[in-house]
Amino acid sequence: MKTYINSSNLKLEIIFQVMKKRIAKGFKSSDLSFLIGKEHNYIDGVESLVIPSYTIQDLDFISEALEEQINPSPDDTDIKEYPLFINMERHLFESRYFHICTSYSSVGHAHVYFILTEDADLRPKLVFAQMQYDQRDLVKQKIAKMREEGYFEQPKWPYQIYQHVSRTLGLTIDPRLLKDLLDNFCQGDGLGGLKKQYDNDRYQYVFNVTRIRSILAKSKSL
């Protein structure tokens, strides 16, 4: 689908750099959205041009989450915004997604700006669940220990938790598994002891002091 936008070569280059680096890390767009504390479809929205562009704060968080600097090409000095026709496509071929960005001139001349490919996660849910099961208990126990040791007394961004758990366990963990477990610690009757704390449209995880105190007070009164 052709999208008519006000943009610049620099903004397109930034989108390209972020896509290239997240794919190299093995992250899906929803994984990166989670790691920077945004809703699951945020990164996909920028990559598909539904959301205009990344903010400077977004790029700071993305750099931290990917542990990579986002550096546009030195030759890409065109920062002036002007109307562009951009076609962003995604095609599935032999278990891989092909992302194709094409720009069109005012007279219809096409220029392929970039092509990127990534593995499509076509595993049945049961297969994915079994792969998660191998790490689930380890990661769950680690989060519980971090909570008990006071790690969550100060709010933590998802990417900080991901990097801490991965390094201390010596594992490459699935961001989806981590998100599921952290959300479980925030749900139910509050005994998980964590909550999401929002800062505008971005969230962190923090120790749920109020809920724990309430539960303890009720247990003492019984």
Tokens (6 digits) for 134: 């191998």
Q: What is the pTM of this model?
A: 0.85
Q: Where are the alpha helices (DSSP H) in the chain?
A: 9-24, 29-35, 42-47, 56-66, 125-148, 158-169, 175-186, 209-221
Boundary of a domain, candidates 79, 96, 119: 119
Whether 26 and 63 share a structural domain:
yes
Same domain, 18 and 100: yes
| pLDDT average, residue stretch 74-100 | 76
Domain that holds residue 143: 125-221
User: Which of 63, 86, 119 lies at the terminal end of a domain, its last residue?
Assistant: 119
Tens digit of pLDDT for each residue in 39-72?
999 999 999 888 878 999 999 999 999 999 987 7
Together in a domain, 51 and 85: yes
> Domains in the chain: how many in total?
2
The pLDDT, as a whole number, for residue 49 is 87
On whether both 179 and 102 belong to a single domain, the answer is no
Instruction: Give the model confidence (pLDDT) of 187-204 as tens digits.
Output: 865 457 899 999 889 999
Tokens found for residue 199:
């800062």
| Position 219 pLDDT exceeds 90 | no
